[in-house]
Amino acid sequence: MELFRASYYNLLVQNGSTTLLFNGVTSSLLALDRATATAVMPLLANERSRTAGVGYNDWRPPTICAADLPGSFADRLPELIEAGVFVPASIDERDALRSSYARSRARAPLFVTITTTLDCNMRCYYCYQKDGNLEQMSFDTCDNIIEWTKEQLKAAGHPKLYVDWYGGEPMLNKAVIERYTAAITAHCDRLGVEYKASMLCNGTAWPDDARGFVARNRLRSIQFSLDGPERHHNKRRGLIDPNGRPGRTASFGEVVGLIGRLIGSTKIYLRVNVDPYIGRDALELIDICASRGWLDNKTRFYPYLAVINAMTDHCGFLGKSPKFKAFESEFDDIQAEFYTALRRYRDEKSLEVVQYFPTRVTINCAAVSDNAIVFGPNGLAYKCGLDVGDHHRAHGALGSNGAVDGSIQADALPVDRWQKYDPFSHPRCGECQYLPVCMGGCPKAQIDKDAAQIQMQSAFWENNFDRIIREYYAAAGHA
């Protein structure tokens, strides 16, 4: 007789008289009525705190067989196994998760991030691209990347290629985008390789024929960002003047006008940046988007909130400011309110697209994929976009033969610090009940031993998990 036990990654959330049972490995969500919950609770052995980073090694649920399950629950055993609620007693769940994570990293599609320039036409106070860094990608470097990409496709037989355009402001060097896309899409079409491109941009340096640019360059998704509603955004994100000084030219209208012209032609993510001074005013964006019809069905428009925090040495001052620190929990409340308001227009599926609801993370960031690379404008090769421009963090450089050479960059940090990233052997993450939906968060924070950033990630789950699960249940149409 096959024996089972409750998954460590089951998380129970009380929602009135209903108990919600979420499993992190399968992302399934079951609702148990009071009687069923009372009957199965001893088998689930799930009374534990919400603390992150502890517990796996002390997990001792009872071993059960089908006959131990109460009433109707017994008939549902196959379904419960499918949902990951019960796992075979003989397996080590964490080991299974670790193997699956390693497979995802090895099999990930070829993912090439290309930084066309480090220059930007804005000087956002929190941005790491500062003071007119004029590194621009040349056609020679672009051609070397084209050769490198072709070589990778040939050598590994990748069936898919994803390209992400990045900066600075990538649209300040449109010629490189057009050149690379024309060459590589023709090559992919010949080989039958699927090609997808995305871009992260500020929405200001676009040509009149914006839709033509999107179609020609096969942009399947674009991320724009606004720093809250117009009065906040324009104060923070003026376009620079011709001498490169921070300017006062308002950009809100231009970004919003561009989104209006592009809506429906590609997937659009709108990142709404929030700091303590923008605060709840960010919620006004919902009505602004709705009034323009962007929240209608089939627009493929996905707004989401992001707190402005310290992500690089440059903006480390934000992490230290008591005001920004105190704002973290307030932001969680604003975020909850934002998604509640958004649900007036959108179902839970569209919120899943912006990864608001917890789902199993197969790979937490392309930086730890075996098949991802980030090219700086001068051909230096990195793994994380935030390292670009910080030359000693490159792991190699692209030579004229189209190969990445680790010896070119004398003081390069070894690439294997990314390959060695392993949340399973991290003393806290390996023990953590949120591991399947978190995977340790940002790998850079772990590699750089940024304890504050990791703690913030843990605090997010500890403080918000239950509320988000209840919202997910409500968004799926339950009271």
Which residues are near ligand SF4 by CB under 6 A?
Answer: 52-53, 365, 367, 384-386, 428-429, 432, 434-435, 438, 440-444, 454, 457-458, 461
Nearer to ligand SF4, 235 or 428 (CB): 428
Smallest distance, ligand SF4 to C-beta of residue 440, A: 5
Distance, CA of 414 to CA of 105 (rounded, Å)? 18
State the Cα angle at 132 between 131 and 134, rounded to 5°.
140
Smallest distance, ligand SF4 to C-beta of residue 365, A: 3
Smallest distance, ligand SF4 to C-beta of residue 93, A: 14
3-state secondary structure of 443: helix
Q: Which among 336, 233, 235, 238 has a CA at the least distance from the CA of 283?
A: 336
- Please return the burial class of 92, using the count of CB atoms within 10 Å of its CB with bins 0-12, 13-18 and 19+: exposed
- Please return the burial class of 303, using the count of CB atoms within 10 Å of its CB with bins 0-12, 13-18 and 19+: buried
Nearer to ligand SF4, 255 or 367 (CB): 367
What would the two tokens of residue 296 be?
Answer: 């209608």
Smallest distance, ligand SF4 to C-beta of residue 294, A: 26
User: If you search the block for the tokens 């069936």, which residue do you land on?
Assistant: 159
Nearer to ligand SF4, 252 or 375 (CB): 375
Smallest distance, ligand SF4 to C-beta of residue 40, A: 26
Distance, CA of 443 to CA of 449 (rounded, Å)? 10
DSSP for 313-340 reads STTHHHHH-HHHHHHHHHHHHHHHHHHH
Would you give the DSSP letter of residue 447? H
Smallest distance, ligand SF4 to C-beta of residue 258, A: 25
What would the two tokens of residue 264 be?
Answer: 């429906």
Nearer to ligand SF4, 170 or 441 (CB): 441
Q: How many CB atoms lie within 10 A of CB 231?
A: 12
Nearer to ligand SF4, 394 or 432 (CB): 432
Q: Are 21 and 30 in contact (CB under 8 A)?
A: yes
Smallest distance, ligand SF4 to C-beta of residue 367, A: 4
Smallest distance, ligand SF4 to C-beta of residue 457, A: 4
Nearer to ligand SF4, 222 or 432 (CB): 432
User: If you search the block for the tokens 């429906």, which residue do you land on?
Assistant: 264
Nearer to ligand SF4, 52 or 219 (CB): 52
Smallest distance, ligand SF4 to C-beta of residue 386, A: 4
Please state the φ and ψ torsions of residue 97, each to the nearest 5 degrees. Answer: -65, -40
Distance, CA of 159 to CA of 39 (rounded, Å)? 49
Nearer to ligand SF4, 222 or 438 (CB): 438
Nearer to ligand SF4, 53 or 61 (CB): 53
Q: Determine how β-strand 160-166 pairs with β-strand 194-200.
A: parallel
